[in-house]
């Protein structure tokens, strides 16, 4: 029967072998405890040493590692170790004893099962979001940088969020399902939450300064930084099957429960693989962290209107367990920076998007904003324009498209003839030889 048990059970991980093989230690797959300082000896480069008298030495310890501070909580009883002074103890944070890692990977925008690789088709970018400070709106673009429309709220009694398409014939054409879910989430929400999300974007961007940051041109004065809507997955993965209790007591209980014709009962593992650990995405203290907001996927929909800029008394973390499998989520990020994931039980994980996956799309972004009404002569549209170094300004109103000269400068004046009202959108970012995008 012993040979049968050996074939049935997976090998015990080396990390737990020494702890439970003699049957005298407890099975602790998630360890926690204390470090006790009993002796300190200082040795210089010449081998000379000096023992420090712990009775008079003052040892500096971080507040979160002091057992006496935790003892103030009823969940943590006082710790007393014979022969060790209370101020010589350090708390050890929880750790998973078995080898474990945090998988933080990009997912293809077009296929949820494909991870990011060298092929351009595997890009995680589902679309682009650009804060428009003139209209208090969010401009929405597809993966290639084509302008699809804008999300905008109005101060009316309905408090709705409206979708303003960039082209009337393409009002419903949002090809990527994840980008479409992002837009639909705000359309089904209130303008209060939408405006709060826009404000959160502006506040978080103040803490983001990518390592390859370049000075913004004059266009960025009117518009915010382009943000990429990307898809990623998070997973806590154990090395092999969950470790089991191989102590003599556990094995004896297994033998006692064995019956002929009944499968051998499993050795206990304390269900530690089902323990959920909080995962914090983003780091506001890290300038090179580009996360602005994230939206978990619950199997059917994304939880929209969640951002990393929370009040100090709010804790908003994902919960992962080794047995829970991967978790999909959408993230709104500055693609030039990294994104960090912190668990507290594993090293911090970070990922970034290669520049060749987003550089062309960022350069192709077109910018437009609503202008109405505009008073101008009936035979010529005149508008004062901000300084712009690339492309042209175009006015799109109804079925007409007017190209406004780059050097257009119209001082305030009264016109000789009756002026006309113009309503439409002012658009820039179009090269001089490119008129196809405005037709």
The burial class, CB within 10 Å (0-12 / 13-18 / 19+), for 93 is exposed
Residues 343 and 229 in one domain: yes
Mean pLDDT of the chain: 76
Whole-model pTM over 0.85: no
Task: Summarize the confidence of residues 27-33 as an average pLDDT.
Answer: 82
Q: In whole angstroms, what is the distance from residue 176 CA to residue 289 CA? A: 26
Residue 262 falls inside a structural domain: no
Q: Over 90: is that where the pLDDT of 291 sits? A: yes
Residue 250 falls inside a structural domain: no
Residue 163, token pair as written in the block: 């979708």
Smallest CA-to-CA distance from 358 within 209, 146, 144, 122 is with 144
Task: Please report the pLDDT score of residue 398 as a whole number.
Answer: 60
Residues 9 and 62 in one domain: yes
Q: Over 50: is that where the pLDDT of 19 sits? A: no
Residue 34 falls inside a structural domain: yes
Residues 214 and 341 in one domain: yes
Q: Domain limits at 148?
A: 104-236+275-363
Residue 267 falls inside a structural domain: no
Task: Please report the pLDDT score of residue 341 as a whole number.
Answer: 94
Residues 312 and 422 in one domain: no
Task: Please report the pLDDT score of residue 53 as a whole number.
Answer: 85
Q: Over 90: is that where the pLDDT of 6 sits? A: no
Q: Over 80: is that where the pLDDT of 22 sits? A: no
Residues 177 and 301 in one domain: yes
Pick from 82, 97, 112: which residue ends a domain?
97
Q: What is the dihedral of CA 85, 86, 92, 97, to 10 degrees?
A: 60
What letters, b where the CB count within 10 A reaches 16 and e where it falls short, cover 253-287?
ebeeeeeeeeeeeebebbebbebebebbbbbeebe
Residue 270 falls inside a structural domain: no
Residue 294 falls inside a structural domain: yes
Task: Summarize the confidence of residues 264-271 as an average pLDDT.
Answer: 77
Residue 268 falls inside a structural domain: no
Q: Over 90: is that where the pLDDT of 153 sits? A: no
Total domains, the chain: 3
More confident residue, 391 or 147: 147
Residues 291 and 420 in one domain: no
Task: Summarize the confidence of residues 346-371 as an average pLDDT.
Answer: 84
Task: Point out the least confidently predicted range of 180-184, 271-275, 285-289, 377-381.
Answer: 377-381
Residues 191 and 291 in one domain: yes
Residues 428 and 347 in one domain: no
Residues 403 and 303 in one domain: no
Q: In whole angstroms, what is the distance from residue 367 CA to residue 72 CA? A: 57
Residue 243 falls inside a structural domain: no
Residues 286 and 334 in one domain: yes
Task: Point out the least confidently predicted range of 87-96, 186-195, 337-346.
Answer: 87-96
Smallest CA-to-CA distance from 32 within 79, 69, 73 is with 79
Pick from 41, 65, 97: which residue ends a domain?
97
Task: Point out the least confidently predicted range of 56-60, 91-95, 133-137.
Answer: 56-60
* Largest distance between two CA atoms of the chain: 106
Pick from 33, 66, 97: which residue ends a domain?
97
Task: Point out the least confidently predicted range of 1-10, 116-125, 308-317.
Answer: 1-10
| pLDDT range class, residue 167, cuts 50, 70, 90 | low
Strands 277-281 and 318-320: antiparallel
| pLDDT range class, residue 309, cuts 50, 70, 90 | very low
Q: What is the 3-state secondary structure (H, E, C) of 9-39?
A: CCCCCHHHHHHHCCCCCCCCCEEEEEEECCC
Residues 120 and 197 in one domain: yes
Residues 55 and 184 in one domain: no
Residue 139's H or E segment, with its range, is strand 137-141
């Amino acid at each position: 029967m012993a040979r049968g048990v050996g074939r049935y059970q997976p090998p015990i991980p080396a990390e737990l072998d020494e702890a439970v093989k003699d049957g005298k230690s407890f099975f602790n797959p998630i360890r926690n405890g204390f470090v006790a300082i009993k002796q300190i000896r200082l040795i210089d480069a010449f081998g000379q040493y000096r023992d420090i008298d712990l009775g008079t030495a003052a040892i500096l310890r971080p507040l979160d590692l002091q057992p006496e501070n935790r003892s103030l909580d009823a969940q943590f009883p006082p710790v007393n170790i014979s022969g060790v002074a209370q101020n010589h103890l350090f708390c050890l944070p929880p750790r998973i004893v078995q080898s474990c890692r945090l998988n933080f990977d990009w997912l293809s925008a077009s296929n949820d099962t494909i991870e990011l690789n060298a092929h351009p088709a595997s890009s995680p970018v589902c679309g682009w979001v650009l804060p428009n400070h003139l209209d208090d709106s969010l401009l929405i673009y597809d993966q290639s940088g084509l302008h699809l429309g804008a999300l905008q709220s109005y101060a009316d009694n309905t408090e709705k969020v409206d979708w303003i398409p960039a082209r009337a014939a393409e009002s419903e054409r949002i090809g990527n399902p994840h980008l479409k879910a992002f837009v639909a989430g705000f359309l089904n929400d209130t303008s209060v939450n939408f405006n709060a999300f826009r404000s959160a974007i502006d506040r978080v961007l103040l803490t983001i300064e990518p390592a390859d940051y370049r000075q913004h041109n004059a266009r960025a004065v009117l518009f915010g930084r382009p943000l990429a809507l990307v898809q990623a997955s998070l997973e806590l993965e154990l090395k092999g099957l969950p470790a089991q209790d191989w102590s003599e007591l556990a094995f004896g209980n297994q033998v006692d429960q064995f019956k002929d014709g009944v499968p051998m009962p499993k050795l206990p593992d304390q269900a530690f693989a089902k323990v959920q650990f909080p995962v914090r995405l983003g780091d506001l203290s890290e300038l090179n962290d580009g996360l602005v907001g994230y939206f978990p996927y619950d199997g059917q929909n994304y939880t929209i209107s969640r951002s990393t800029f929370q009040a100090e008394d709010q804790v908003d973390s994902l919960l992962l367990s080794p047995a829970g499998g991967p978790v999909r989520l959408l993230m709104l990020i500055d693609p030039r920076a990294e994104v960090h994931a912190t668990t507290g039980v594993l090293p911090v994980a970070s990922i970034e998007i290669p520049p060749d996956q987003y550089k062309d799309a960022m350069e192709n972004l077109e910018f437009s904003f609503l202008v109405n009404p505009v008073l101008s002569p009936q035979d010529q549209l005149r508008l004062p324009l901000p300084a712009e170094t690339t492309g042209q300004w175009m006015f799109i109103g109804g079925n007409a498209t007017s190209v406004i000269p780059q050097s257009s400068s119209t001082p305030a004046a009264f016109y000789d003839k009756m002026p006309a009202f113009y309503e439409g959108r002012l658009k820039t970012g179009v090269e001089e030889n490119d008129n196809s995008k405005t037709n």
